[in-house]
């Protein structure tokens, strides 16, 4: 190796951001192993590379002793004093033992080490780039598919989308452009592995953040998302500015904003409603497009009993219980839905649109309402749902 090699390392440092000193130290360590392997040596050696000229020298480290018992690690006091009269017993001497053809070995080793370190650095750069983009959307090109994944080309690296992370109503072929949500970035010996999804609720949330300026600016906030990918979703939004309607902002002029997202999600229905810190109002909004007559809030159990008009019972529960199920996921509250006539038959009387049951009273009435299943009750005969009316993508209130 020579000065040109050192200049090449300087160039790598400038272009790749890999420290020249780190590279040289890695080469020196590799050359120590190479020396011991190629010259069948068990000596305690070190390799020194001149930082300016690139010259490589090998030194064996020996201890000065009165009588040599191990020539590989010891040198007699007499021999040591021939080198320097000041040496004493137990001193350490570095003796040059550079082989004549070691330059060829050094050049090969250096090339391998530098190539490996560049590859590792590039992998690290890619990992750092994408780990910072977790929970974000990427766009890539579908390259191929096997029995486990779609492989999506992101330019610098491939992303993996498990087959069960695509929406049920979509298929991809080679060359298709696809938007996906980064769920996880892992560092491996072969480089970063990036996992993406089309079914994750985060995809819907991020699409709204990109499509709605009021969300991007922080005026409107997405409080919660519940999603059954490819079929229907619910999203609760809140505005910190009383002059900005959060639902209207997400719907957009003539519904353009939400329709852009619906198209990206292959026709997935999206209900948008206002978030409220009042659980009764929040649950009532979450059951949109159904009209709610009364909500009883059992705070201790985080459960609500909802009364709806008889003709809206199937709409409130939804096809296969979907509307109630999504509302429960969205709000985090259990929801027991009854029609007006069912409530009357059970002797449930109410006078206000909302009633809040305290912990003590909830304990007293617990046996009563625990007999009623929550939203899963669509399997029972009395609550068997009929086909659901078309949902509103704009989340409008409907009578």
**Confidence band for 125, pLDDT divided at 50, 70 and 90:** confident
Quick one: 157 and 214 in the same domain? no
Q: Is the pLDDT of residue 366 over 80?
A: no
Average pLDDT rounded to a whole number, residues 237-261: 96
Q: Answer positive or negative: Cα dihedral of 240, 246, 250, 255.
A: negative
Quick one: 391 and 290 in the same domain? yes
Domain count across the chain? 4
- Of 259, 275, 291, the one marking the end of a domain is 275
Q: What percent of the chain has pLDDT over 90?
A: 51
- Of 70, 98, 130, the one marking the end of a domain is 130
| DSSP-based three-state secondary structure for 259 | helix
Quick one: 124 and 65 in the same domain? yes
Pick the residue with more confidence: 377 or 282?
282
Q: Is the pLDDT of residue 159 over 60?
A: yes
Average pLDDT rounded to a whole number, residues 196-205: 97
**Confidence band for 370, pLDDT divided at 50, 70 and 90:** very low
Q: Is the pLDDT of residue 79 over 90?
A: no
Convert the pLDDT of each residue in 266-309 to its tens digit. Answer: 999 999 999 999 999 999 999 999 999 999 999 888 999 999 99
Q: Which residue has the tokens 């974000």?
A: 136
Contact 23, 117 (CB under 8 A): yes
Quick one: 108 and 213 in the same domain? no
Tokens of 395: 């989340």
The C-alpha atoms of residue 253 and residue 212 are separated, in whole angstroms, by 11
Residue 167, C-beta contacts closer than 8 angstroms, at least 6 positions apart:
198, 199, 229, 230, 265, 266, 268
- Of 249, 275, 301, the one marking the end of a domain is 275
Phi, psi (5° rounding) for residue 36?
A: -65, -35
Tokens of 35: 């020396």
Q: Which domain holds residue 247?
A: 201-275
Q: Which residue has the tokens 């480089």?
A: 191
Quick one: 64 and 99 in the same domain? yes
Pick the residue with more confidence: 337 or 189?
337
Quick one: 24 and 121 in the same domain? yes
| DSSP-based three-state secondary structure for 357 | strand
Quick one: 195 and 211 in the same domain? no
pTM: 0.70
* Of the candidates 93, 114, 125, the residue with the CA atom closest to the CA atom of residue 49: 114
* Of the candidates 108, 110, 114, 68, the residue with the CA atom closest to the CA atom of residue 89: 68
Instruction: Return the minimum-mean-pLDDT range out of 133-137, 167-171, 388-392.
Output: 388-392
Quick one: 17 and 108 in the same domain? yes
**Confidence band for 388, pLDDT divided at 50, 70 and 90:** very low
- Mean pLDDT score across all residues of the chain: 85
Instruction: Return the minimum-mean-pLDDT range out of 126-140, 154-168, 373-387.
Output: 373-387
Tabulate helix, strand, coil % of the chain (nearest 5).
Answer: 40, 25, 35
The C-alpha atoms of residue 306 and residue 287 are separated, in whole angstroms, by 10
Average pLDDT rounded to a whole number, residues 170-192: 93
245: CATH: 3.30.300.20
Quick one: 195 and 175 in the same domain? yes
Residue 308, C-beta contacts closer than 8 angstroms, at least 6 positions apart:
287, 290, 291, 292, 293, 315, 316, 337, 338, 339, 340
Average pLDDT rounded to a whole number, residues 311-333: 96
Strands (E) across 175-324 are located at 177-188, 191-197, 220-228, 232-239, 269-274, 294-298, 303-308
| DSSP-based three-state secondary structure for 108 | helix
123: CATH: 3.30.1480.10
pLDDT score at 42: 64
163: CATH: 2.40.50.140
Average pLDDT rounded to a whole number, residues 217-229: 96
Quick one: 103 and 164 in the same domain? no
Q: Is the pLDDT of residue 45 over 90?
A: no
Pick the residue with more confidence: 56 or 41?
56
Quick one: 258 and 176 in the same domain? no
Quick one: 20 and 93 in the same domain? yes
């Amino acid at each position: 190796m020579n000065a040109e090699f050192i200049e090449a390392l300087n160039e790598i440092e400038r272009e790749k951001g890999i420290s020249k000193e780190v590279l040289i130290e890695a080469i020196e360590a590799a050359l120590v192993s190479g020396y011991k392997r190629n010259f069948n040596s068990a000596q305690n050696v070190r390799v020194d590379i001149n930082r300016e000229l690139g010259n490589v020298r090998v030194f064996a480290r020996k201890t000065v002793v009165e009588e040599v018992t191990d020539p590989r690690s010891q040198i007699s006091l007499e021999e040591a004093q021939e080198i320097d009269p000041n040496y004493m017993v137990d001193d350490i001497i570095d003796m040059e033992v550079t082989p004549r053809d070691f330059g060829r070995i050094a050049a090969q080793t250096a090339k391998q080490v530098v190539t490996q370190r560049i590859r590792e650095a590039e992998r690290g750069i890619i990992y750092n780039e994408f780990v910072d983009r977790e929970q974000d959307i990427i766009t890539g090109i579908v390259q191929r598919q096997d029995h486990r994944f779609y492989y999506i080309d992101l330019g610098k690296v491939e992303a993996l989308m498990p087959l069960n992370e695509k929406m049920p109503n979509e298929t991809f072929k080679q060359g298709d452009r696809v938007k996906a949500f980064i769920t996880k970035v892992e560092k491996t010996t072969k480089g970063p592995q990036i996992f993406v999804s089309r079914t994750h609720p985060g995809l819907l949330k991020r699409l709204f953040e990109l499509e709605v300026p009021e969300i991007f600016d922080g005026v409107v906030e997405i409080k919660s998302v519940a999603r059954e990918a490819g079929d229907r979703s619910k999203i609760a939004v809140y505005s910190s500015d009383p002059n900005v309607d959060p639902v209207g902002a997400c719907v957009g002029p003539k519904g353009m904003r939400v329709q852009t997202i619906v198209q990206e999600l292959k026709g997935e229905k999206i209900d948008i409603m206002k978030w409220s810190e009042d659980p009764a109002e929040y649950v009532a909004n979450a059951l949109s497009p159904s009209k709610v007559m009364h909500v009883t809030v059992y705070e201790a159990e985080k459960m609500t009993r909802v009364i709806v008009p008889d003709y809206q019972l199937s709409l409130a529960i939804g096809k296969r219980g979907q509307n109630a199920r999504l509302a429960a996921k969205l709000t985090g509250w259990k929801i027991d839905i009854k029609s007006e006539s069912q409530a009357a038959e059970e002797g449930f009387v109410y006078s206000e649109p909302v009633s809040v049951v305290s912990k003590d009273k909830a304990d007293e009435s617990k046996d009563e309402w625990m007999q009623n299943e929550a939203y899963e009750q669509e399997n029972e005969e009395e609550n068997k749902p009929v086909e659901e009316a078309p949902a509103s993508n704009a989340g409008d209130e409907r009578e």
